[in-house]
Amino acid sequence: MRKAQAKKHPLAPDPKFNDKQVTRFVNTMMWAGKKTTAFNIFYDAIDKVSATTSEDGYEIWKKALQNVTPSVEVRSRRIGGATFQIPAEVRADRKISLSMKWLIRFSRERNGKTMADKLANEIVAASKGEGGAFKKKEDTHRMADANKAFAHFRV
């Protein structure tokens, strides 16, 4: 028998933008429970984005997140002894989670002195439809499109 699903812990909105999504992003970025450091990195990155683009950094960040959010992905399913990559819609909660993880991962892999610099550069690139995180989304969509033939196996 299955246990009950874990309850979602309510997120407190961040102090500067009063947005729960910012808190979620910072929680994803945080290492070793250092939330204040993570918030400082995020706010520095947003300020750098504002300085380089001369637009609102927060809005650019939201646009970047939207640009790297996938709508379909492939899931492995074993059917008749063979494993197929089956395209599936991404749940709303997972969409946000994937886009944040990709943005942070490709920021960390970028060249730059500080994490704030790297994150700022990745946010600007993603908002323009460039960068590693955006490429990952495109690759995910391409993979799902290539495996369209197996969509009838969907559950």
Contact 39, 119 (CB under 8 A): no
Q: Is the pTM of this model over 0.85?
A: yes
Whether 100 is covered by a domain: the verdict is yes
Whether 15 is covered by a domain: the verdict is no
Q: What is the mean pLDDT of residues 34-60?
A: 94
Q: What pLDDT score does 29 carry?
A: 95
Whether 17 is covered by a domain: the verdict is no
What residues does 83 pair with on adjacent strands? 78
Q: List the structure tokens of 129.
A: 């439809």
The secondary element (H helix, E strand) that includes residue 72 is strand 72-79
Whether 78 is covered by a domain: the verdict is no
Q: What pLDDT score does 155 carry?
A: 62
Given a cut of 70, whether residue 3 has pLDDT beyond it is yes
| Mean pLDDT (the chain, rounded) | 92
Domain range enclosing 142 = 35-73+83-150
Whether 104 is covered by a domain: the verdict is yes
Whether 3 is covered by a domain: the verdict is no
Distance (Å, rounded) from C-alpha 70 to C-alpha 66? 9
Q: What pLDDT score does 149 carry?
A: 83
What CATH number does the domain containing 57 carry? 1.10.455.10
Whether 127 is covered by a domain: the verdict is yes
In tens, the pLDDT along 96-134 reads 999 999 999 999 999 989 999 999 999 999 999 999 999
Q: How many domains does the chain have?
A: 1
